């Protein structure tokens, strides 16, 4: 018995020693990509215990939804290094339990299917492969901190790039699983550009053809990354990669530790408004390299890849990032002040048309992001952490500037978060943010937080927000308000099928709902080419009898039209004071327009 105990103790010690020096080796064969598949193999080092649980993440960072990424796995197998099969069983949707003698290294293999771009997880075809490791490679919790390598076998003529270190073509290394899984790989036929800025190395990779000017885009990206020191006092990376997909049927972008992937319809890089939208997205994702990657809320530290990671501060992670993104374009000299004001116009209009702003707080929206709805229900019962978070960030920034006479801005708060809460060790809470605010200003922000973060924001006095920095808000139809029903729909030969009805608007109060089909006003049929003009002929306050179909049954309701002042327009006031100009400059770090 003593001898057996000695033997087991020695075996355990060897296994633990092996683990301390362990390395997990990943490989994927992409040499037959026509059917959107790759063959994955992983070598896990020896560990103690009679079984090893191998897992595929249930979600990927940057998208707060359960995606069940194991759904692309087929043909799973497990063996020892000599190729002898090991017994295994799948114990839940994302976990495979492998049985082996303690201290036995494990090799697993499986086919992975990748034919989607929209979620930015995995896409494999005969021109490239985009590999988000969290959607490609499995991991073992007990080996999550060990070194990793990745090797790719690819068709002739392909090149491979990632934010990870690359000691050889098609080969990458990462310090641990968390670095690997947050470092996507783009391999295939692409155009690559490189530049240096601020002592850092940058690379821009374009996959796909489109109406983009690659060299101009790279030049503008260089201007954007040069603005980072305006917010943070240091960098969390030495090398950074922009991966740009010019494609069809997919859009969006995702931030990563050392890179970003941005997807845009191939002919949506122009005209200028669309190009600025692309650059705004690039700025947003680059800012995430600090805000979310270098520091993030405590509910996301460390990442749990198997379940939801709840936080009531996602509005800072996403909304504050959006708030800074277009400011970076302005500071870089890419966008004009008028174009930046146009961005403010859009978020003001969006807020004023969002019924959910009176219902849900930005803190609750953050926590519920994992179960957020879409469409009409979302607009009327929820707020968006991006748009609403941007407005709350804006309100906080102006409040900081006013309370400190321009000495402290919201940028200072984010630099403090970066310095104090490295995501490799700990995350921050609401109490931590409030503590930073108090330290920076010498006063409490508890009441402000209760009003703007923990309670529904509701109506915002935007002129009061704009006046301290010498700006004002006007409306296109202020002198002659237009009739307003508060609905939108799809027009067809049979009428207009409602797609949304705004909470608290005339149509809402009259009892209309999405999927109602409007066919007549005041007893007169409205044809397709006259639908838009039919209500415009009325005046605000007018009463209209609306005939509609619901569940194929005809009905009538009385609609009292409201008044619309038109689109928002932000611009300079007529006679700004020196103090307003100074606060404007401290706010945006550019000169007041016309000064």
In the numeric block, the tokens 């995430």 are attached to 288
Structure tokens at 112: 């992975």
Strand partners, 517: 497, 549
Q: What is the dihedral of CA 282, 64, 397, 567, to 10 degrees?
A: 70
Q: Are 511 and 528 in contact (CB under 8 A)?
A: no
Structure tokens at 468: 């301290």
> CB atoms < 10 A from the CB of 591, how many?
11
Q: How far apart are CA 375 and CA 388, in angstroms?
A: 16
Domains (ranges, CATH) in the chain? 24-186 (2.60.40.3650), 190-273 (3.30.2010.30), 314-473+578-588 (1.10.390.10), 482-564 (2.30.42.10)
pLDDT tens string, the chain, 595 residues long: the values are 333 333 333 333 333 333 345 799 999 999 999 999 999 999 999 999 999 999 999 999 999 999 999 999 999 999 998 999 999 999 999 999 999 999 999 999 999 999 999 999 999 999 999 999 999 999 999 999 999 999 999 999 999 999 999 999 999 999 999 999 999 999 999 999 999 999 999 999 999 999 999 999 999 999 999 999 999 999 999 999 999 999 998 899 999 999 999 999 999 999 999 999 999 999 999 999 999 999 999 999 999 999 999 999 999 999 999 999 999 999 999 999 999 999 999 999 999 999 999 999 999 999 999 998 888 888 999 999 999 999 999 999 999 999 999 999 999 999 999 999 999 999 999 999 999 999 999 999 999 999 999 999 999 999 999 999 999 999 999 999 999 999 999 988 789 999 999 999 999 999 999 999 999 999 988 876 666 777 888 999 999 999 999 999 999 999 999 999 999 999 999 999 999 999 999 999 999 998 7
Structure tokens at 10: 């020695």
Structure tokens at 425: 């060790």
In the numeric block, the tokens 């940058």 are attached to 202
Q: Are 96 and 54 in contact (CB under 8 A)?
A: yes
Q: Are 416 and 410 in contact (CB under 8 A)?
A: no
Query: CA 582, 583, 587, 593 torsion: positive or negative?
Result: negative
């Amino acid at each position: 018995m003593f001898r057996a105990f000695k033997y087991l103790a020695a075996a355990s010690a060897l296994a633990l020693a092996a683990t301390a020096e362990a390395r997990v080796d990943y490989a994927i064969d992409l040499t037959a990509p026509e059917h959107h598949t790759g063959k994955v193999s992983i070598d896990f080092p020896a560990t103690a215990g009679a079984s090893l649980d191998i897992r595929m993440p249930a979600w990927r960072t940057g998208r707060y939804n359960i995606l069940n990424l194991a759904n692309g796995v087929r043909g799973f197998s497990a063996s020892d290094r000599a190729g002898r099969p090991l017994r295994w069983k799948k114990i839940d949707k994302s976990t495979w339990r492998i049985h082996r003698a303690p201290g036995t290294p494990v090799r697993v293999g499986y086919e992975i299917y990748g034919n989607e771009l929209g979620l930015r997880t995995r896409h494999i075809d005969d021109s490239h492969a985009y590999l988000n490791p969290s959607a490609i490679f499995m991991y073992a919790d007990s080996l999550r901190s060990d070194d990793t390598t990745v090797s790719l076998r690819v068709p002739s003529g392909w090149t491979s790039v990632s934010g990870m270190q690359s000691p050889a073509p098609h080969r990458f290394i990462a310090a641990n699983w968390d670095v690997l899984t947050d470092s996507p790989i783009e391999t295939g036929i692409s155009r690559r550009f490189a530049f240096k800025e601020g002592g850092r190395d940058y690379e821009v990779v374009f996959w796909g053809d489109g109406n983009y000017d690659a060299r101009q885009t790279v030049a503008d990206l260089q201007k954007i990354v040069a603005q980072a020191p305006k917010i943070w006092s240091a960098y969390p990376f030495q090398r950074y990669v922009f991966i740009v997909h010019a494609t069809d049927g997919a859009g969006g972008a995702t931030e990563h530790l050392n890179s970003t992937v941005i997807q845009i319809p191939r002919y949506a890089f122009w005209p200028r408004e669309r190009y600025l939208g692309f650059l705004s997205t690039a700025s947003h994702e680059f800012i995430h390299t600090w805000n979310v990657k270098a520091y993030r809320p405590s509910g996301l530290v460390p990442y749990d890849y198997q379940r939801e990671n709840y936080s009531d501060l996602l509005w800072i992670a996403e909304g504050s990032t959006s708030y800074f993104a277009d400011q970076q374009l302005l500071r870089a000299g890419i966008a004009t002040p008028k174009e930046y004001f146009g961005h403010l116009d859009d978020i003001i209009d969006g807020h004023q048309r969002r019924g959910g702003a009176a219902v849900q707080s930005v803190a609750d929206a953050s926590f519920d992001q994992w179960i957020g709805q879409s469409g009409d229900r979302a607009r009327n019962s929820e707020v968006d952490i991006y748009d609403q978070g941007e407005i709350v960030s804006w309100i906080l920034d102006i409040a900081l500037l006013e309370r400190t006479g321009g000495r402290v801005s919201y940028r200072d708060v984010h630099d403090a978060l970066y310095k104090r809460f490295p995501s490799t060790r700990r995350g921050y809470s609401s109490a931590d943010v409030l503590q930073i605010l108090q330290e920076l200003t010498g006063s409490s922000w508890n009441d402000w937080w209760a009003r703007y973060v923990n309670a529904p924001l509701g109506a915002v006095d935007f002129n009061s927000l704009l006046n301290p920095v010498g700006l004002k808000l006007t409306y296109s139809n202020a002198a002659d308000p237009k009739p307003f029903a508060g609905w939108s729909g799809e027009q067809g030969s049979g009428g207009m099928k409602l797609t949304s009805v705004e909470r608290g608007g005339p149509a809402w109060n009259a009892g209309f709902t999405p999927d109602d089909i409007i066919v007549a006003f005041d007893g007169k049929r409205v044809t397709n080419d006259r639908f838009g003009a039919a209500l415009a002929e009325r005046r605000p306050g007018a009463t209209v009898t609306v005939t509609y179909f619901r569940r194929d049954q005809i009905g009538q309701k009385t609609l009292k039209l409201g008044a619309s002042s038109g689109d928002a327009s932000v611009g300079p006031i007529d006679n700004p004071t020196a103090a307003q100009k100074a606060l404007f400059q401290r706010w945006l770090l550019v000169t007041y327009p016309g000064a």
